[in-house]
Structure 1
Amino acid sequence: MQIITTHKNTDFDGLASVIAGTLLYPNAIGVIPKMVNPNVARFLSTHKTAFDLILPHEVEHDLVDTLVVVDTDRWQRLDRMDKLKNRKDLEVHLWDHHMNGGDIHYHWSRQEAIGATVTLMVRELKKRVMTLSPLVSTVMLIGLYEDTGHLTYTSTTAEDAHAAAYLLENGADLHVAGFFLNPPYEEKQKEILFELMKETDKRRLNDSSVAINVVRLNDKVVALANVVNMYRKIINVDAVFVIFANETDTSSSVIARSGVDRIDVGQIMKSFGGGGHSGAGSATVKFKEYAPEALKQAIIDRIERGRKEAVKVADIMSFPVTTVPPDTTMREVHAIMAEQKIRGVLVAENGDLQGIIVLWDFKRVRQERQWDSPVKAFMARDIATIAPDAPPTRAAQIMVTNNIGHVPVVLDGEVIGIVTRTDILTYYYDLLPD
């Protein structure tokens, strides 16, 4: 039995990715958590029978041999999947656009920093030349638009826009998408929006304008994320954090939105047991962990600690970079690395970056004659690069995603430096010189 599932409090990106997954894994059944976003609940109330979906309590865990997880990489965010967590015979596939370093160990993954997980699914659907119905295209477009803020969040990529175009070409209905993405405001939601505007606490944090509010609720209110989105647009701040304190179940729901790279609300919410991505995040925090006002101060402290993200890759990279021509022998390259006490050398010719050779590659030299072979025979050719103005977190993501320890820094097509694991570790452990 194969199943595909996603995170609790499922949003449209999670739902759409599960549905897309049932196309990519035709023998799999989609499992939707019991707790879903109110908009998703409205959609499923009229559309659930159109898809092969079940609830977590309907899963026969002993029969599951393949688990496909989408839009999260953490076990605690899955619903009733604990029985599968320690199964040695379980094959796990992961599809996710969050780069949070979760605890789900997988056999195969497609995890990239991109606007929406559904974009990764679209890439594979296009590759397999699979036919999409207008209904499936519409659900996927809703998920893509929701997680990219209608293609406006800073985490949005060109591929997200191409994916949206592809879904429209396959019959995605913008009228239906608009209905679920922009539900009508009820009186209670309007009252909350007015309260937020009246009690706005706007601050300057980490060189950004940030609003942080606490709203106390006595009953459940739906579509609060839409209220927060509207609130940020009205008061025109870089980021907003709204703490909805529910006196009934003694917990706070934090909804955060950001329009700047300097404040990654997904990472901040991860600090409080939640998650998300750079433009949108959320978390649920019990009063016994943080009272609402204490939680507000903790968020402020977390933002201020993030100030060092103003540092760019150019500030921590190593330079000048040692390069060798592609015909240099492995023996010569090894001698250069030993003399300079470095672990990697770039291979270039006439300014054209062609590859990289690292110490680990010398383990592949098994015969004496191979020491006289050209470095181009052993170098890695598919090289991930980074811009000098990118944040160090991006360099770390590239290293984790590609399992590499060296990332060349390129400006206008020219290599100006290199970032290594040592540079990243030095940066994160506050060993940078003043």
Structure 2
Amino acid sequence: MVHGPQSASGRLGGLLVSRGQPYNVVLTHLSADFDSLAAAVGVAKLWNAEDRKVPTYVVLPRGAHPSVSKFLALHQELFPILGLELLDPTGARKVGMCDAQTRDRVGPASELLDQAESVHVYDHHVDKDSDIVDAVLHIESVGAATTVVTEMIRSGLEQGAGVGVQLTEAESTLLALGIHADTGSLTYDSATARDAAALAWLMMQGCQQTVVSEYTHTSLSEGQQSSLVEAFGSLEKRQHNGVSVGSVLLVNEERVAGMARFGAGGHPKAAAASVRLSGEDPETEALELMSSLVEAICKEQILEPELVAEDFMTSPVLSCQPSTTLLQAEEILRRHGLYALPVLGQQGEEADKLLGLITCAEISKAFRKDEQGAANRPVTGFMLTKVTRVCPSAPMHKIRKRMAESTRAGRAIVVDASGRLRGIITRTDLLRQYHFYRQLKRRGQGPLHREWIGAAAQPGEAICSSNPDADEVRSAAVAGFLG
């Protein structure tokens, strides 16, 4: 697959960790929450800036809270996160633990603690005792472990020692989520002025409040809950230019505190208004008013048509064939900085049809089990066959939902009615369309550049494109592969 330049400084690009290569790793606790994950990403940012020769990765030893999983389904590729199975324990140099002080809190990753030259603990539970011998402790009496790490990043920048530690918008947002989660948005007794100061500083670094609002849940009052139930029961929906327009009319005898007005609590695509009606039949009058408002919105085409897969998918796509060996696939992934490679049929009716997806994780697992024997085996024995497939006309919101439900490969493969590959959509491709982060510029499907593809195609690789102008270059690439 051919990609443009990376937009997020934290992204790994899907590279495998070479066996025997030294590395540092920062661990979250089991079932990672936002505080543990955010602190780990912050520490990795610091360590990667301090030593650029030895990379630092973030590992979630076992699972994550549902809200964190939902966040990572869309954001994972913006941070240096790797699966534990991709790391060779003997390569660990420095290990960090975030929001955890004991071995049992990191479960299967505890093996790394024995191999590391040093262990560093970042936590905010001052009443706990660490069982890690000779660990370097960074424990402060604040509301979140993320606050401890945020203060270290801020201090380094202000003292001129933080070159390369400038946070991206996504990183600032994640760190803010960590503090919000463990302090109840500064409402818990454990919250301190230092937590508030850290949040304020993160907002100045580009924290996106829209994202924080989406992943931070607050409880509703009894009146709000009652209104919400009524709203769901009376919701009316209609389609306009592929966009679903929903409207709700609520009739309240008493004022409900906290109901949003003209802006819907920060959601740019929603609004609410209170209207006093007069007349013999106020409910009918209200329904007519609501209907006319919805009609006006649709008539003026205030809402942009929703994008579909072919509007923002990446195409052409670098792929391989069923006969490609694991060693060849690993080399292709390394050379282009990719995480996954589509496997396409080669001859007859199966030509260009998607058979599966070979990923860095699957290759690493195979090498761990049988390194010498696996190298020359074809990818078909290890590829993922249950992958997210969408048609070119699939709407963006449905693609996002399906990718969130199936996070193993982190990609949606665009295929036509006959199953032939048209393009690929990564998490980052999807994030670009939501305007969450200005650093991820929105893009559509661009023109095919022959020079770009020609430079990317090497022996053992194939380019698959939905653009008919690419046939000449694509044929040459496939010929090189078969030769």
When normalised by structure 1's length, the TM-score is: 0.41
More strand by share: 1
When normalised by structure 2's length, the TM-score is: 0.37
Greater gyration radius: 2
